[in-house]
Structure 1
Amino acid sequence: MEPKSMEQGTQRETHILCFCFPAQGHINPILQFSKRLASKGLKVTLVSTSSSTVSSKFIQTQATSINIEIISDDEPDEGQSRTANLDFFEAYKTFVSQSLSEFIKKQLSSEYPPKFIIYDSIIPWILDIARGFGMDGAPFFTQPWAVNSIYYHFLQGKFKIPLEEPIVSLPSMPPLKLNDLPSFFDAADAYPTSLNMLVNQFSNVEKLNWLFCNTFDELEDEIVKWMASKYPVKNIGPSIPSTYIDKRLENDKNYGLSLFKPTTDSCLKWLDSKEIGSVVYVSFGSFSAIEKEQLEEVAWGLKMSNCYFLWAVRESESGKLPRNFSEETSEMGLVVSWCPQLEVLAHKSVGCFVTIAGGTRRSRH
């Protein structure tokens, strides 16, 4: 998306709401999308919920072009909770449906009532709320179409779990084995709610006038063409700060949001001392819980590789590392609780990125 100046008289007339699911991997891409929309001269309000850490102290100067609003996704603690027997996603839907409806109703009486809502694709019921107020909306998919299409085809009944055949054949995709599918399929019994949530991203796809996605045509040309032949796909990625792509947004150097305090200086100074392409960067995300045995296997693999490595291990997970691992590998590796991922990935000394995407894969021994 290219920033485009608009006449002063119409600059703030069109009001767009952007609603994000309260997880950092979902918040940051839609936050960047919001900045791009605001650069077009639109009035943009990013809406999130009270259980997330999206607040004014986390949205820094890079997000001043947009408004931030926090709505409730919980109930006051008044004795026995009405959602005590519901899982997180059921409770989330119950309270967000109510609080978002109240928020939209209030906004519709403002000077610039919202006309459209962009929402995280994993919460498709937002569309029904918006249309109930005469607004339209569109989902924003944070993952690329190569992943999204697998959930779509599963919902359409193109394959089942457990697999009836060893190979899954899907349009515009290479042959896929079980290990090639998102790990939720391999651990469907362990993550039934998460798998259902991801598959249901496409539950109302026939009602949609737009499908926004955090990808770009050149990255996955064949699958994008196939999806676009079926649905109104609009790719707007990569949804990362402008500094790392087109430099069209001034001072847009970072997302403006981090759930953890990054150890920026120590990471970058350490990387500066290493040769080009010599470092393995390892990070398993903000929320994934890796089994102790699995984390130990990764640790021993890094130690025996004789490669330089930078490993981000959250403090809550650090107790799973082998005893004295950081000290014993200090000449080759650096273990930190968090680091500035964009700057690390852009650093010339990083030659390999080991990460996880959407869940953990159970080990098979």
Structure 2
Amino acid sequence: MEKEEGASSTHVLVLPFPAQGHMNPLFQFSNRLVSKGLKVTLATTIFIAKTMKSHPGSLIVDPISDGFDDGGWAVAEDMNIYKERFEAVGSRTLAELVEKYSHDCPVKCLIYDSHIPWALDVAKKLGIVGASFFTQSCAVDLIYYNVSRGLLSTPVQGPTVTIPGLPLLEVNDLPSFVYYALGSYATHLSSVLSQFSNFEKADWLLVNTFDKLEDEVVQWMSKKWRIKTIGPTVPSMYLDKRMEGNTDYGINLFHLDTDPFVKWLNTKETSSVVYVSFGSLAELGEEQMEELAWGLKNSNSYFLWVVRASEETKLPSKFVEETSEKGMVVTWCPQLEVLAHRAVGCFMTHCGWNSTLEALSLGVPMVAMPQWTDQTTNGKFVVDIWEVGLRARVDEKGIVRREDIELCIKEVMEGDKGKEIKRNVKKWKELAKEAVDEGGSSDKNIEDFIAGLVCD
């Protein structure tokens, strides 16, 4: 892989928000920067550094404190308290870390998760380049931007919303924090809107997407801001294969035993298994878990279902035993390896942005079952814009019933609509690879970003 002249002396400090879904894309982007010759240091929190199950390869890890060194954000009373303390303690320890390298290999640029806007203030104070990294889609970012500037009022009055650069959206297609914006959601909304408190002062805005995936919104945003699309941030061996050995994100906060599920998948026919996962945060109610369980059983497809240990008590009594010939329930598994397996023919997903990009990049059709936050918007694009999946619809109680789950699975796996979805997802898989291939849009944007740092 061609390396920018002078890149080896360019030191970049990367500050991810300490949650798995935020760390994965930023770590993979860091790996790409290293492959192009930059020196990259990861400023993870002390708690994350202590709990890593694997080391991120050639990346240097040098932790800072968030004020919760023994438990991270999980031991804070709430997320607002965590973020306040993270800003107070993190600002100081981040500045100390930058100063630590000031003599031997000075930090040229700070790339920080957009949910840590105070990091830009640290960068500006120390005279280094500040680049805000957005882990969500451009569409979601633009919706939140409109809310932050008072261009879209919350809670939103329906039935539809028009936002420049985006398709016509129904109210329930907006992020849940926006269309509901009451109770705890109002608190969450305030938190996500903080991304835009000072973002226009950043030297760069880096977004985990690629141009053709969100063509109109990227063009609209590019006219206003210094934006670079650098995704999809999926490990290289699943896309362009230019980074040998880059098969995972390089960090995991969970212990993984891959042997049982791999052996099980290896016994199944091509495209015969439904993979079901709702990420690391979404919690299904007991009634929804029961409907999902029987919907999977009634579909008569093989299924691999990730049910976190904290959620296992919600499974119907004896469900695992009664479906053992068709299904396998695990508490966690490496999602990329599953999606890349020939046996997987469908992904029932909460439509988190990382999961959506992974499914697109690996060519796996989806059954969309969004739960909250940006997932509702991602689900809209999965079904109606990119046409790579079907939406499992909720009833008047907000529950997706077993009949609809069964119908969606059968249609994606075996129906005429499923054939069209498979053709579309194959196209997007090729476009995702094209974006990160040498000379592709995202690869070129990364090269431009590096050139800007080297020449600065």
Render the CA deviation track for 1:118-154: whole Å, top value 9, x for unaligned.
0001111110011111112111111121222111122
Render the CA deviation track for 1:71-118: whole Å, top value 9, x for unaligned.
1111689xxxxx97962222222221222122222222x311101100
- Does residue 1:270 correspond to 2:264, yes or no? yes
Supply the distance in 2 between the matched residues of 1:195 and 1:57 (Cα, whole angstroms). 29
Q: CA deviation at 1:157?
A: 2.1
- 8 Å contact 1:296–1:321 — kept in the other structure? yes
Supply the distance in 2 between the matched residues of 1:239 and 1:343 (Cα, whole angstroms). 15
Supply the distance in 2 between the matched residues of 1:273 and 1:11 (Cα, whole angstroms). 47
- 8 Å contact 1:241–1:253 — kept in the other structure? yes
Residue 5 of structure 1 is matched in structure 2 by 3
- 8 Å contact 2:47–2:68 — kept in the other structure? no
Where 1:137 maps in the other structure, the secondary structure is strand
Residue 28 of structure 1 is matched in structure 2 by 24
- 8 Å contact 1:56–1:68 — kept in the other structure? no
Where 1:344 maps in the other structure, the secondary structure is helix
Residue 350 of structure 1 is matched in structure 2 by 344
Supply the distance in 1 between the matched residues of 2:27 and 2:239 (Cα, whole angstroms). 16
> Any stretches of 5+ residues in structure 1 without a counterpart?
78-82
Q: Which letter does structure 1 place at the counterpart of 2:19?
A: A
Where 1:237 maps in the other structure, the secondary structure is coil
Identity of aligned residues (%): 49
Render the CA deviation track for 1:217-273: whole Å, top value 9, x for unaligned.
121111111111211110111111110111111211111212212231222222222
Any residues of structure 2 matched to 1:1-365 within 5 Å, and which? 3-5=1-3, 10=6, 12-52=8-48, 54-55=49-50, 58-60=53-55, 63-74=56-67, 87-108=81-102, 110-188=103-181, 189-356=183-350, 357=352, 360-361=371-372, 365=397
Q: 1:246 to 1:23 in 2, by over 3 A?
A: same
Matched pairs, number: 352
Residue 422 of structure 2 is matched in structure 1 by none
Render the CA deviation track for 1:164-220: whole Å, top value 9, x for unaligned.
231011123222122211222344322333222222222223212211011111211
> Any stretches of 5+ residues in structure 2 without a counterpart?
71-75, 354-369, 374-393, 398-456
Which deviates further from its counterpart, 34-43 or 192-201?
Answer: 192-201
Supply the distance in 2 between the matched residues of 1:84 and 1:333 (Cα, whole angstroms). 38
Supply the distance in 2 between the matched residues of 1:267 and 1:335 (Cα, whole angstroms). 9
Q: 1:11 to 1:180 in 2, by over 3 A?
A: closer
Where 2:310 maps in the other structure, the secondary structure is coil
Supply the distance in 1 between the matched residues of 2:243 and 2:50 (Cα, whole angstroms). 22
Residue 432 of structure 2 is matched in structure 1 by none
RMSD: 2.4
Which deviates further from its counterpart, 148-157 or 12-21?
Answer: 148-157
Residue 80 of structure 1 is matched in structure 2 by none
Where 2:209 maps in the other structure, the secondary structure is coil
Supply the distance in 1 between the matched residues of 2:117 and 2:52 (Cα, whole angstroms). 29
- 8 Å contact 2:158–2:171 — kept in the other structure? no
Q: CA deviation at 1:346?
A: 1.4
- 8 Å contact 1:274–1:349 — kept in the other structure? yes
Q: 1:151 to 1:84 in 2, by over 3 A?
A: closer
- 8 Å contact 2:53–2:254 — kept in the other structure? no
Where 2:244 maps in the other structure, the secondary structure is coil
Supply the distance in 2 between the matched residues of 1:350 and 1:202 (Cα, whole angstroms). 39
TM-score of the superposed pair, with normalisation by structure 1: 0.89
Structure number with the higher helix fraction is 2
Q: Which letter does structure 2 place at the counterpart of 1:174?
A: P
Where 2:136 maps in the other structure, the secondary structure is coil
- 8 Å contact 2:273–2:302 — kept in the other structure? yes
Where 1:342 maps in the other structure, the secondary structure is helix
Q: 1:57 to 1:200 in 2, by over 3 A?
A: closer
- 8 Å contact 1:169–1:176 — kept in the other structure? yes
Supply the distance in 2 between the matched residues of 1:337 and 1:301 (Cα, whole angstroms). 19
- 8 Å contact 2:271–2:345 — kept in the other structure? yes
Supply the distance in 2 between the matched residues of 1:94 and 1:192 (Cα, whole angstroms). 23
Supply the distance in 2 between the matched residues of 1:304 and 1:56 (Cα, whole angstroms). 40
Supply the distance in 1 between the matched residues of 2:300 and 2:173 (Cα, whole angstroms). 28
Q: CA deviation at 1:23?
A: 0.5
- 8 Å contact 1:55–1:70 — kept in the other structure? no
Supply the distance in 2 between the matched residues of 1:139 and 1:231 (Cα, whole angstroms). 12
Supply the distance in 2 between the matched residues of 1:186 and 1:41 (Cα, whole angstroms). 44
TM-score of the superposed pair, with normalisation by structure 2: 0.72
